[in-house]
């Protein structure tokens, strides 16, 4: 649903806000894809939980943007040791009509470490 503003060239759409339920579905979709992605498991570890949703919105028409904090656990190759939990910020854009992930990045160590980008 759009709100219209008058302009010189006609009407310019202002994009509606995303509901919390829509954002939650987008977060669940991204979480499911991250858990299934082999390169994510290899680089970051297994996504164990969503800690906090940081924000969501619609920066462009038909695009849902979400940002949330997640915990990843990567077992060590040495028996009896473990890396522990790495917390990262996940930033993703999803096409609202198709539900396809457009972009997805995970910022390690809350943005102070390297960035991992999902191949879409």
d(CA 118, CA 44): 11
Average of pLDDT values for 33-61?
Answer: 93
Q: Does position 20 have pLDDT exceeding 80, yes or no?
A: yes
Distances (CA, A) of 29 to 33, 52, 80, 109: 6, 16, 33, 22
Predicted confidence band of residue 16 (pLDDT cuts 50, 70, 90): low
Q: How far apart are the first and last CA of the chain?
A: 28
Q: Work out the mean pLDDT of the chain and round it to a whole number.
A: 84
pLDDT at position 71: 94
Predicted confidence band of residue 8 (pLDDT cuts 50, 70, 90): very low
Q: Could you tell me the pTM of the whole model?
A: 0.79
d(CA 86, CA 111): 12
Q: Measured in whole angstroms, how far is the alpha carbon of residue 19 from the centre of its chain?
A: 16
């Amino acid at each position: 649903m759009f709100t219209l503003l008058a302009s010189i060239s006609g009407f310019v759409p202002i994009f509606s806000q995303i509901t919390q339920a829509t954002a939650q579905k987008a977060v669940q979709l991204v979480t499911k894809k991250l858990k299934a992605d082999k390169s994510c498991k290899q680089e970051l570890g297994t996504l164990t939980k969503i800690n906090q949703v940081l924000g969501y919105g619609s920066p462009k028409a038909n695009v849902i943007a979400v940002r949330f904090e997640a915990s990843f656990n990567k077992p060590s190759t040495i028996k009896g040791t473990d890396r522990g939990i790495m917390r990262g910020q996940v930033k993703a854009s999803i096409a609202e009509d198709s539900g396809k992930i457009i972009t997805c990045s995970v910022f390690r160590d809350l943005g102070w470490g390297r960035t991992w980008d999902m191949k879409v």
